[in-house]
Amino acid sequence: MVRNSANAYGWVAVALHWLIATAIGVMIVLGLVMTRGFDDDIMAKVALYQWHKSIGIVILTLVVLRLVWRLANPVPRLPETLKAYERGLAHAAHVGLYVLMLAIPLSGWLLASASTFPTDLFGWFPLPKLISPDQAVEETMAEVHEVLGWVLLALLAIHVAAALKHHFVLKDNVLRRMLPIAAGHRTTGDQ
Ligand code: HEM
Ligand code: HEM
């Protein structure tokens, strides 16, 4: 099933969810390591920054595609057993994750634009600059980029805890229907 139904995620939504989740995990580790280490090997540090920026732009593109796909598809309903405020919280968390998935790479792009240091996407072509170089903007955006990264980590902890609670405590199909290996469960509908 390519598209989502009222009860199940199609494979495009599942593939995008896990591809982006994995890439973001790599990016957080890469971001923390490259900014805190490699001071004795400046060539490696610069290479890691270029990889971080290149992968980040790919993530931004995938997130935009994912958002378009989500808007063009039905969103599977949560189990009827959940209370209205629980659905509200789940929805708010998902909106928050989408906002962060856009705001983090955009703040990165702004900070890279404000820097005088050039960015070469995968060594192929220069990243277009959104704004002209400005050290104050670069510093502010670096701060914003870092803080939003920590906010994402906190929201992710809640997101993962909620997914595990659905699976192990409530024993519904909410986690299973987002897993690539559970196509059978995804297509059989609720519970
Ligand atoms: C979802 C995508 C991204 C994630 C999760 C992410 C995450 C991070 C993290 C955790 C750091 C370390 C922050 C710190 O401790 O100072 C960082 C630094 C950085 N990121 Fe990203 N990033 C993303 C996308 C991008 C993009 C698209 C660009 C630019 C095109 C970018 C440019 C940078 C730069 C230049 C730094 C170093 C900032 C500094 O030197 O203070 N990032 N990123
Ligand atoms: C960077 C990591 C992650 C991000 C940004 C993220 C983001 C999202 C978003 C925005 C949704 C809403 C549905 C959609 O539009 O696709 C979602 C759904 C979901 N995520 Fe994640 N996620 C991440 C990691 C994880 C992990 C590690 C797990 C499992 C432990 C997980 C489990 C789920 C489940 C089960 C759903 C379906 C919820 C439902 O059916 O309403 N996610 N995720």
- Tell which atom from ligand 1 comes closest to the C-alpha of 127: 30
Strands (E), the chain: 120-121, 125-126
Q: Is 101 in the pocket of ligand 2 (CB under 6 A)?
A: yes
* Cα gap 8→96, rounded to integer Å: 22
Domain ranges of the chain: 11-187
pLDDT value of residue 21: 98
Nearest to 24 by CA among 168, 160, 166, 182: 160
What is the average pLDDT value for the chain, to the nearest integer? 93
Range 11-23 average pLDDT: 97
What confidence category does residue 182 fall into, taking pLDDT thresholds of 50, 70 and 90? low
Q: Residue 191: is its pLDDT beyond 50?
A: no
Q: Is 104 in the pocket of ligand 2 (CB under 6 A)?
A: no
Q: Report the predicted TM-score, pTM, of the whole model to 2 decimal places.
A: 0.93
Domain 11-187 CATH (choose: 3.30.300, 1.10.3470, 1.20.950, 1.20.120): 1.20.950
* Cα gap 71→31, rounded to integer Å: 30
